[in-house]
Structure 1
Amino acid sequence: MILVAAGTSKADLLWTPAANEIGIDADVPSFFGHIMAPGGSELAPLDAFQLPPDISSVLPDQDWLGDFDIFGADFIPAVDNAFAAPPVDIQPQQHQTQPDSVTEEKVEGHSSHRLNQADHARERHAIFKRSPWLWIPERNSNAFTEHNRIQLDEGHLQSATSPHQPFAETLSIPDRLSQSSRDRILQLIVRTAKSQICITSFPSADCLDLLIKMGIAKKFETDAWIHPFTFKSEDCRPELLTALVAAGCVCFGVSLCTEKGPRSTQIDFELQVKTVSRTGLVLLEIVRVALSRVIEEDNSAGRDIQWLQASMIWLDVAAFCGFKRKMEVAESNLQPLITAMRRYGKFDRVAYSPITPSAADSASQLHETWLQWVEAQSFCRLAHHLFEHDTFMTLTKHRNPLLSYAELSLPLPASRALWLAPSADDWRTVYLGLQSPSHRQAPSLRSILADSGIMRCMIPEVDVQVATSTFLSGVAAQVWEHGKLVSLHANGGDDSDATARLWNQSRHEKLCDVLHASELSTNVATFSTALLRHFLLMTLHVNLDNIMRFAGKCGEAEAQQAYQALVIWLPTKPARLALWHAVQVVRAARDAAPYQLRGCDAFLTWHAVSLMWAYGMLQQNVARRTARSSPVPDSTTLEASAPPSQKRLVFLDGERSAEVDDFLYRNDGIPCMRLLDSSHTVCSLHKAQNVMTIGIEVLERNCPGEGRVGMPQMIKSLCDLMEELGKLR
């Protein structure tokens, strides 16, 4: 990788090859040079090893540790030091005007990507099976074949601190795990895993108590669907307690390792890395098996809020853990939870009768009313969280939703002030203070989707953050629905169906208007809402399936077909609008707090970077063809002859401006992004190889202080994939 000096002329941002330079090896054509060459369908077929990498080629099948002790020397954190980690100082990106001296990251031309024999098999597997999430299990593989020995020797454990800050300063969870509850967790593990694992010791109740509280507190970063102040471990199912311990493990530490000596080999270092997160994943496997056994033994468990919450916890974590087997198992187990909630009637408003306190209630009556309200709100919040989870799975796994937005007629959850009231008296005080004079009923997702103007005047009794995220999830389901209809009509071959075209165009405009208006209709401004909103606007201007197929997801023939569609799309305004929103997705990801890009947000960021990369690949192909068909001037002549608008750098990672509008509507200027280093490095979006550097930078900076080996598996896999794609031409 070479950084061009600050004195580099702006004309160099427009890469123009020599007249005889195509950027493709004469002996072995690269994949993209092959599919974008004129008359590509007549070319000799490519070997499988020349095809580009797919996400399945970098995701491991299993969380394999062999005989490595997942509860070994670095598992249990010291309670006194658990929150002693210094705050991570991430300097915000300074959005500024074009600097006086600008440099650009420029990637050297790569020779054809030749792979060793193991990589050949990996690439063939990804392409021949044509599925980015395919998992083919080996015979006799199961949840416990990944770990055959669990040693919980607390005497050999070292203190460690979490890079996360999972506790809000004002949040205090009163419950404390007892020794008997700790023993129930151990009994569940032993009973479920049976002789498949060996346990020689187990963490103390204090350690498990810390992890449980971290598992509860982690939920408060989003929609807070487990109530902290009525939580009593003595009354909890062991499945829920174990799930919370596992969630605490996953969010506690990205990696805990002994200090790496100066002469340590990479293999020794990897053996020293003992991840608390992986411990949580193993516990979630135990929870999954235990929950299935419980529902078989007692069907009424499917109506128990604790069984439902435990199911949701393991689905949340496993769905984006980065290991294909766990991810596929989690995806396939979402339907039973939705079915249980649906058959229990918890998606319908009739299941939620008003529960209100009265100033005349006695202490016992008030406490009982509060507990009833908390249980109803727990179901309500779980239902909305489940809908959002299903939507995220739709967007990331490209499959149809399992739950319809029109099905949710239940009221939106109550405000966080009510939900986080620490006692019945405080709850009554907040409730009577928030009650609106008109006594309006809380709207439902169905009602705010029917009339998005309700979002501008939301009643104070409603949790605005949950309402906003649920609303965007509902719009996301409509965007998905619209995309399927467009694909259906596009493949129908009947160009005379004017009604279908008008309907699709009208629906497209309506969805764009709703998403643009949602930015102004709420006071909630989080990175996740901005990221999702821009991602949805991006998908309204591009067929993401074409982008993935162009990247080689389904092989050479499909890539050529996708290329033909994208060539028509490239010079249009929708292409530039899609590029703008893709850059805004990356910008929102940059604003994420450390360690927050671990689930759906990381996937959406990856899709945005993929679009930017495809845009650059197509632009480079245009430059190649232009170079072949016309004489090539030197850089001085090029700079002098280029119109002024083509010399101006347009930074798409800032606020909307007149310069941005000129690019979007008139194609004036060179689209660029700033990197986050101190040298004011600029990346032209006309150069695809540089774009992947931006994507890797965003994901890696969200894990400060971690090397690639210590990152969450999903982030590591996405970075590896972008690194591989960045080498392709």
Structure 2
Amino acid sequence: MGDTASASTDIADAQALLSLCDDAYQQRRVPAFFDQIMVPEHDFVGADPALPAPDLTMWLPDTDWVGEIDLFNNDFGLSIGQTFESQQILDNFFAPAAPTETPDRTSRSRAATERGDEARRRSAIFEQSPWLWVPTRNQHAFSEHDGVTIDEQHIDIATSPHEPCSSIIAISDSLSQGARDRIFQLVSKTSASRIIIPSFPSADCLDKLIKVGIAKRMETDAWIHPYTFDSESSRLELLVALIAAGCICFGLPSVNRTGLVLQEIVRVALQNLTERDNSAFRDLQYLQASMIWLDIGAFCGYQRKMEIAESNLLQLVTAMRRAGRYDKVAYSSILPNIDDNADENERKWREWVQFESYKRLACHLFEHDMDMAMVKHRNPLHSYSEMSFPLPFSRSLWLAPSAEVWRSRMLSMSTIGGLPSLHGMLKDEDPITYLSPAVDSQVARSVYLHGVAAQIWEHSKQCALIHEDCDPSLQLWLRSRHQKIYNLLQRFSLPGDSTFAYTRTLHAFLQMYLHTSVDTITRFAGKCGEEEANRAYTLLQPWSQTKDARIAIYHAGQVLRAAREVPNHQLRGQDALMTHHSIMVLWTYSMMMSDRARRTGGNTPVRPAPSDASHGPKVFLDVHPSVNSDHVDAFIHKDVGKPCLTTIPSTTQDTLRGISSTEQVCDLRSPSQIMEIGVELLDAKHPEVERKIKPPLLRALCNLMEGLGRLR
């Protein structure tokens, strides 16, 4: 009886346990689909406990691990790919049923396939871009050049189609025959018979090219002094660098090619020089020659040269930093005195020019570094906080043709309060708002914007580490920092002078850069392959519907407006890349609009967006802000209006106010037409010059945009 009672008790306990389990099971009841698939024909308790949960081992290859199979030659790629593919299927099975949406699953699958095909085609086109270079075994410094050949009859500044020298600076120095022979000796020794030199230009021809190379510096930040230049006492490497710079400015392919050969000569010669004499690292002329060849190589449009120039920039930055040229202690105050005799005044002037040359070179190098960081998306080598040296004096002082003129201008100019530094301007906004007449305003405004660019870069890197689960106070600080930088750029003003056209282009580009990721844009365009293009799409589609996206495309349009104001034949370097990136931002936004319209244009009707073609006025993004400011504000803040671009090169306010013809308007829903506008803009900056003899970088950018524009 005891056994029977005990058995009855055990049965009752078992039934109670089963009842409890059944109640718990009912409480977390899963859909019937799971009843049939996960536990078919099995009792909840009676399911086979030996069956493991689905994991990676279920899709590993069935291989005899102890047999003669070569483990390292075993291909896991297909099985692992099937693993994640099958896991995705299971995830879809386990996920709750989603409400039916439009378009249907077939349409979504077709759209995904189309996006994959488009990404593949974009990636194939991008392989020919200036950014991607795969070194080959037999490629070296002179493998792509035949030799040094210059037809001296074509070295005529007045007839060059590229207007290589618009400066009125008169350089009195003249290259001697002896200096010409020493230059030829350096070229032939450095090339070491790897290039052919059937003839070498005369001293008069080289003198013209040197003066063009110096005068081109005058059009921007003027960092080589024209009136103390002496070819007899200059380093040969500097002379060859100036000749190369002069060649690059001519619109003749043969002369341009010679400039690229000489650029390689300078690069190799400077390396040989520092191997023989380490003291050259502190020599101003060595540093200037290094800066010239880096300027030429960084934006020449040839993949190998661009990558080598980018990788060699650190050496020049290190030399300047170790020489203390970024610190204020390296610069002493030199002031003339009315009682100084001629020799003393001459000595002071030349010493002052030496200091100013270092300062201007430091500013130019910092700007070059930041330009490379922004347009090529790589880390900068400078920190704006280390730039404590005083900014250069005004251009009128810098371009004083003699010591007497310099003293007269210096004594008549007030220098009360001293010269500001970049560090000081970023710390306090007043110096950039109220610039002293003693400061070179063009250099000050340009270097200030590049300092803000460094802050934008820092902010973008910090944002990349922040996600939704991060500390809310950190997220709030980042948003506050973003608004602070944007307010700085909004308050920044520039004169209407054409000499500030590049600075205006940079100003608009930075405001665009602050509201988008240029790296993600280029990945979507195919820079990193099909997989990354698809991943970038998933980030850009939600971004394209935000206020940040509308701000970004507005400032991208303003970049185009500023680029159109750049003087002809001058849009050829970092400003061309900024223009290209702006076109890419507009094109990407257009692609997202087109994709969204295609996905929502299925069987189920949807409410039109406020910015639909039939709703709201045209919002021109590339005109003067005063032309349609109300429409721009409504578009940015409320997404009301139809964003458009103008297809005419003129940007005068009177003309833009009268835009009404459909032939003059590019609807932003047309990706191919946006690319056409970009190509036309770059082509128009070099009028009457065939595409095949335009600067190589512009040719490459135009070909890239045309290829992407033809995809749709």
Q: 1:669 matched to which residue of 2? A: 641
Contact 2:611–2:641 (CA<8 Å) still a contact in 1?
no
Instruction: Note if 1:710 corresponds to 2:682.
Output: no
Change beyond 3 A, Cα 1:463–1:495: same
Equivalent of 2:665 in 645, 662, 682: 682
- Alpha-carbon distance, 1:164 to partner: 3.8
Query: 2:297·2:309 contact (CA, 8 Å) conserved in 1?
Result: yes
Report what 2:300 is aligned to.
321
Asked if the contact 1:549–1:558 (Cα under 8 Å) also holds between the matched residues in 2, the reply is: yes
What is the identity, as a one-letter code, of the residue corresponding to 2:618?
L
- 1:672/1:565 Cα in 2 relative to 1: closer, same or farther (>3 Å)? same
Q: Distance in 1 between matches of 2:447 and 2:528?
A: 33
CA deviation digits over 1:55-81, x for unaligned, max 9?
75334xxxxxxxxxxxxxxxxxxxxxx
User: Structure 2 vs 1, CA of residues 577 and 159 (structure 1 numbering), >3 Å: closer, same or farther?
Assistant: closer
For the 8 Å contact 1:347–1:383, the answer to whether it is kept is yes
Partner of 2:559: 585
Q: Is the 8 A contact 2:235 2:286 kept in 1?
A: yes
Q: 1:643 to 1:201 in 2, by over 3 A?
A: closer
Give the drift of 1:138: 2.0
- 1:51 has 2:121 as partner: yes
TM-superposed CA distance for 1:630, in Å, is: 3.6
For the structure 1 residues 538 and 378, does the alpha-carbon distance in structure 2 shift closer, same or farther, using more than 3 Å as the test?
same
Between the aligned partners of 1:291 and 1:347, the Cα distance in structure 2 is 23
Measure the CA separation in 2 of the matches of 1:627 and 1:46: 20
What does 1:129-528 correspond to in 2, within 5 Å? 133-151=131-149, 161-167=159-165, 170-251=168-249, 253-255=250-252, 274-436=253-415, 439-490=416-467, 495-519=469-493, 526-528=500-502
For each residue in 1:589-624, what CA deviation from the matched residue of structure 2 results, as whole angstroms up to 9, or x when unmatched? 111111111110011111100010011111111221
d(CA) in 2 for partners of 1:583, 1:156: 39
Higher relative contact order (CA 8 A, sep 6+): 1
Instruction: State whether structure 2 residue 678 is matched by structure 1 residue 695.
Output: yes
Shift of the alpha carbon at 1:579?
A: 0.8
Partner letter of residue 510 of structure 2?
Answer: L
Shift of 1:200: 2.4
- Secondary structure, in 3 states, of the residue corresponding to 1:673? strand
User: Quick one: structure 1 residues 287 and 309, their matched pair in 2 at CA, closer, same or farther if it must change by over 3 Å?
Assistant: same
Q: Secondary structure at the match of 2:600?
A: helix
- In structure 2, the CA distance between the partners of 1:153 and 1:615, relative to structure 1 (3 Å rule), is closer
- Cα distance change of structure 1 residues 642 and 315 upon mapping to structure 2, 3 Å threshold: closer
The equivalent residue for 2:10 is none
Contact kept in structure 2, 1:53 and 1:724, CA below 8 Å: no
Asked if the contact 1:55–1:718 (Cα under 8 Å) also holds between the matched residues in 2, the reply is no
Instruction: Report if the CA contact (8 A) 2:148-2:200 is conserved.
Output: no
Residue in 2 aligned with 1:652? Answer: 621
Cα distance between partner residues in 2 of 1:381 and 1:205: 29
Q: What whole-Å deviation, never above 9, does each CA across 1:570-598 have from its counterpart, x for those lacking one?
A: 22211111110001111111111111111
Distance in 1 separating the partners of 2:496 and 2:469: 40
**Code of the aligned partner of 2:684:** R
Give the C-alpha shift of residue 676 in structure 1. Answer: 1.7
| Whole-angstrom CA distance in 2 between matches of 1:727 and 1:312 | 38
Moved more, 621-630 or 676-685: 676-685
Q: Which moved more, 1:367-376 or 1:537-546?
A: 537-546
Residue 601 of structure 2 is aligned with which of 614, 619, 627? Answer: 627
| Residue 236 of structure 1, CA deviation | 0.5
Structure 1 CA distance, aligned partners of 2:125 and 2:353?
42
Q: Deviations over 1:372-394 (max 9, x none)?
A: 00011111100110000000110
Paired with 1:211 and 1:316, the residues of 2 have a C-alpha distance of 17
Matched-pair identity in %: 50
**Secondary structure of the corresponding residue to residue 465 of structure 2:** helix
Q: For 1:49-88, list aligned pairs within 5 A.
A: 50-53=120-123, 57-59=127-129
1:549 to 523, 537, 540: 523
**1:159 Cα deviation after fit:** 9.8
In 2, Cα distance between equivalents of 1:288 and 1:418? 32
RMSD over aligned Cα atoms: 2.8
Give, in whole Å, the separation in 2 of the partners of 1:644 and 1:686: 9
CA distance in 2, matches of 1:55, 1:407: 41
Task: Kindly state the Cα deviation for residue 523 of structure 1 after the two structures are TM-superposed.
Answer: 8.2
| Distance in 2 of aligned mates of 1:54 and 1:592 | 32
Secondary structure of the residue that 1:196 maps to in structure 2?
coil
Greater CA drift, 718-727 or 615-624: 615-624
- Select between 377-386 and 569-578 the one with higher mean Cα deviation: 569-578
Match for residue 511 of structure 2 among 537, 545, 554: 537
SS in 2 for 1:52: helix
Q: Confirm or deny: 8 A CA contact 1:465 1:524 kept in the other structure.
A: no
Q: Deviations over 1:421-471 (max 9, x none)?
A: 0000000011011124xx211110000011122111111111010000000
In 2, the alpha carbon distance for the partners of 1:510 and 1:157 equals 50
Given the superposition, is the C-alpha separation of residues 225 and 160 from structure 1 closer, same or farther in structure 2, using an over 3 Å criterion? closer
Shift of residue 202, structure 1, vs aligned partner: 1.1
Q: Distance in 1 between matches of 2:154 and 2:161?
A: 22
Q: Of the candidates 572, 578, 592, which is equivalent to residue 604 of structure 1?
A: 578
Per-residue Cα deviation, 1:455-492 (whole angstroms, up to 9, x for no partner): 111111110100000000000011011001001113xx
Q: Which amino acid aligns with 1:548?
A: T
Q: Does the CA-based 8 Å contact 1:468-1:524 persist in structure 2?
A: no
Task: Return the TM-score normalized by structure 1.
Answer: 0.77
One-letter code aligned to 1:254:
G
5+ residue gaps, structure 1, are 1-32, 60-131, 256-273
SS in 2 for 1:671: strand
AA of the residue aligned to 1:38: R
Offset at residue 48 of structure 1 (A)? 10
Q: State the secondary structure of the residue aligned to 2:665.
A: strand
Provide the rounded CA distance (Å) in 2 between the counterparts of 1:596 and 1:213: 17
* Residue type of the alignment partner of 1:452: E
Query: TM-score, length-normalised on structure 2?
Result: 0.79
Residues 652, 38 of structure 1: CA spacing in aligned structure 2 closer, same or farther, 3 A cutoff? same
Matches within 5 A, 1:99-138: 133-138=131-136
User: Shift in Å at residue 686 of structure 1?
Assistant: 1.6
* Equivalent-residue separation in structure 1 for 2:412 and 2:581 (angstroms): 45
CA distance in structure 2 between the aligned counterparts of 1:401 and 1:720, rounded to whole angstroms: 28
- Greater mean alpha carbon deviation, residues 142-151 or residues 378-387: 142-151
Q: Aligned AA for 1:485?
A: Q
Displacement of 1:153: 6.8
**Secondary structure, aligned partner of 2:493:** helix
Give 1:219 shift.
0.5
Distance in structure 2 (CA, Å) of the matches to 1:233 and 1:460: 32
Partner of 1:71: none
Aligned equivalents of 1:133 and 1:50: distance in 2? Answer: 17
Distance verdict in 2 for CA 1:711–1:153, change over 3 Å: closer
Shift of 1:151: 4.4
Q: State the partner residue of 1:18.
A: none
Contact 1:154–1:201 (8 Å) recurs in 2:
no
Q: What stretches of structure 2 of length at least 5 have no aligned partner?
A: 1-102, 651-660
Q: What SS is found at the alignment partner of 2:643?
A: strand
Q: How far has the Cα of 1:562 moved from its partner?
A: 1.9
- SS of the residue corresponding to residue 644 of structure 2 reads strand
AA at the equivalent of 2:305: K
Indicate whether 1:724 and 2:693 are aligned: no
Distance 1:48 1:520 in 2: 41
Counterpart contact for 1:464–1:524, Cα < 8 Å: no
